[in-house]
Amino acid sequence: MRVLVLSDIHGNLQALEAVLASAGAVDFLWNLGDVVGYGANPNEVVNLMRALAQVNVRGNHDRVCCGLTTSQGFNPVAAQAAAWTQRALTGENLQWLRDMPQGPVIGDARAMCAHGSPLHEDTYIVTMRDAWTPLQQMESEVTFFGHTHVQGGFSQRDHEWHENRPHYATTDQAEMRVFDVPAGTRHLINPGSVGQPRDRDWRAAYAIYDTEGAKVEFHRVPYDVRAAQAAIRAAGLPDRLAARLADGR
Ligand code: ZN
Domain coordinates in residue numbering, the chain: 2-246
Distance 11 CA to ligand 1 centre (A): 10
Distance 199 CA to ligand 1 centre (A): 13
Exposure of 148 by Cβ count < 10 A (0-12 exposed, 13-18 middle, 19+ buried)? buried
Distance 204 CA to ligand 1 centre (A): 13
What CATH homologous superfamily does 2-246 map to? Metallo-dependent phosphatases (3.60.21.10)
Distance 168 CA to ligand 1 centre (A): 22
Distance 159 CA to ligand 1 centre (A): 31
Longest CA–CA span in the chain (Å) reads 52
Q: Which 3 state secondary structure label does DSSP give 46?
A: helix
pTM: 0.97
- DSSP characters for 68-130? SS--TTS-HHHHHHHHHHHHHS-HHHHHHHHTPPPSPEE-SSSEEE-SS-SS-TT----SHHH
Distance 61 CA to ligand 1 centre (A): 7
According to DSSP, the β-strands at 111-113 and 175-180 are unpaired
Cα 98 from Cα 78, distance rounded (Å): 19
pLDDT at 224: 98
Distance 135 CA to ligand 1 centre (A): 21
Distance 89 CA to ligand 1 centre (A): 18
Return the H-helix or E-strand segment holding 155.
strand 152-157
Q: In 10 A of CB 123, how many CB atoms? A: 16
pLDDT at 153: 96
Q: Reading across the β-sheet that carries 204-210, which strands appear in turn?
A: 55-56, 28-31, 2-6, 204-210, 215-221, 175-180
Distance 158 CA to ligand 1 centre (A): 31
Distance 142 CA to ligand 1 centre (A): 21
- Would you say 220 and 175 are in contact if contact means Cβ atoms under 8 Å apart? yes
pLDDT at 219: 98
Q: Which 3 state secondary structure label does DSSP give 58?
A: coil
Distance 98 CA to ligand 1 centre (A): 17
Mean pLDDT per segment of 10 residues, for the chain of length 249 residues? 98 98 98 98 98 98 97 95 98 98 96 98 96 96 98 95 96 97 95 98 98 95 98 98 96
Going by the DSSP 8-state scheme, the letter that residue 137 receives in this structure is H
Distance 149 CA to ligand 1 centre (A): 6
